Amino acid sequence: MSTRYAGLIERYRNRLPVDDYTRIISIGEGNTPLIQLQNIPSIIAKDVDIYVKFEGLNPTGSFKDRGMTMAVTKAVENGSQAIICASTGNTSASAAAYAVRAGIKAFVLIPDGKIALGKLAQTLMYDAQIIQINGNFDSGMSLVKEISKHAPVTIVNSINPFRIDGQKTAAFEIIDELGYAPDYHCLPVGNAGNITAYWKGYTEYAQDQGDLKAVVSKRPVMCGYQAAGAAPFISGKMVDNPETIATAIRIGRPQSWDHAWNAQKESAGWFDCFSDEKILEAHKMLSHYEGIFCEPASATSLAGALKDIASGKIAEGSKIVCTLTGNGLKDPDTAINQCKDSHPVTIDATLDAVKKAILDKM
């Protein structure tokens, strides 16, 4: 048998709704690294194990691929010729890529302007039918839900239950790798599909371990973090004009509202929110101290973990996993703005000048 990694459906086939005859649409998603932070815990002077699940290393650069491999596999199995989604960017890039792979059409509704450059470039390259609307993600989402009653298209937003099934495999990977569930799991929350999916994954593993392996069957406390300008889970009601630099979570009307509240309650977890400054600070810390470049929205998970560790809400000795949902290359504009003050020096192309430039910095 080949040991080639074939994608998460192959790996977790017995836990996913596929059978022997299903044609699997895969680009080798999943199996992303779980990286232990080495420098940040000592910088904050706390005895904690923080791991990041770097979902930016999926084929299109975000965790959306986990859900999309399942959603498109099932759409094709059910005879669909076209898929549709509303997106802040990553869902559209992922949908477009998997549609190409399957040989079907992808229609994507994106908000006018507020989409990170890398995501737009990908979606164009994957040759999706892009429909830009004069509105935000939430209005795109309500249009998509309507249109599927009028046109033969399958919705691949996370209201599609197969998306959640694909995404729950990230929790399986974490337990398979650590040998146990972490004490806390921290996530950025936008539409709240991902927090729903992780909770489902942790719960399924815990259920089949039963009481025999108490350590493994334990589930983490789920911590959902939002941007202050797009924080319906904090205010407890929908937000009309969500605003944040973390465009992937610029969502005011989360579609998985009830499921996310359920995850919070069952896990005795919590929601919290952060200013864009705090999010960008965590974004920069990951690059500067750990060599990990994620997108701004992703860093919300670390911003939250750091606050709750500092306050003692997350105790020392805890094992914490933060999901880094997307790759930093998705949003080069924000990254470059983050480093405005570190312009490269320009010097003469001589040995002396280079030598001086190096010695000046030692």
- Residue numbers at the binding site for ligand PLP (CB under 6 A): 62, 64, 90, 158, 188-194, 248-249, 295, 297-298, 325-326
Nearest approach, Cβ of residue 227 and ligand PLP (Å):
10
Closer CB to ligand PLP, residue 298 or residue 318?
298
Nearest approach, Cβ of residue 186 and ligand PLP (Å):
12
Half-sphere exposure of 194 (CA within 13 A, CB side): 30
Please choose, from the candidates 338, 339, 336, 301, the residue with its C-alpha nearest in 3D space to the C-alpha of residue 55.
Answer: 301
CA dist., res. 247 & res. 96, Å (int): 19
* Residue indicated by tokens 């002077």: 45
Compute, in degrees rounded to 10, the torsion defined by CA atoms 306, 309, 314, 319: 70
For residue 350, count other CB atoms closer than 10 A to its CB. 9
Closer CB to ligand PLP, residue 206 or residue 246?
246
Residue 313 φ then ψ, to 5°: -60, -40
Q: 252: Cβ–Cβ under 8 A, 6 or more apart, which residues?
A: 136, 138, 230, 232, 238, 239, 240, 241, 242
Nearest approach, Cβ of residue 358 and ligand PLP (Å):
37
Residue 169 φ then ψ, to 5°: -65, -20
Half-sphere exposure of 45 (CA within 13 A, CB side): 1
CA dist., res. 275 & res. 144, Å (int): 30
CA dist., res. 2 & res. 318, Å (int): 38
In eight-state DSSP terms, residue 220 is P
* Residue indicated by tokens 């630099």: 245
Nearest approach, Cβ of residue 27 and ligand PLP (Å):
16
- DSSP E strand stretches across 212-300: 221-227, 270-274
Closer CB to ligand PLP, residue 169 or residue 325?
325
Closer CB to ligand PLP, residue 7 or residue 193?
193
Closer CB to ligand PLP, residue 248 or residue 280?
248
Nearest approach, Cβ of residue 239 and ligand PLP (Å):
14
Nearest approach, Cβ of residue 191 and ligand PLP (Å):
3
CA dist., res. 312 & res. 322, Å (int): 17
Closer CB to ligand PLP, residue 111 or residue 217?
111
Nearest approach, Cβ of residue 71 and ligand PLP (Å):
13
Four-residue CA torsion sign, 8, 187, 195, 80:
negative
Specify the 3-state DSSP secondary structure of 281.
helix
Closer CB to ligand PLP, residue 180 or residue 257?
257
CA dist., res. 224 & res. 48, Å (int): 19
Nearest approach, Cβ of residue 295 and ligand PLP (Å):
5
Four-residue CA torsion sign, 244, 249, 251, 252:
negative
What are residue 274's DSSP bridge partners?
227
Closer CB to ligand PLP, residue 217 or residue 244?
244
Nearest approach, Cβ of residue 300 and ligand PLP (Å):
8
Closer CB to ligand PLP, residue 69 or residue 217?
69
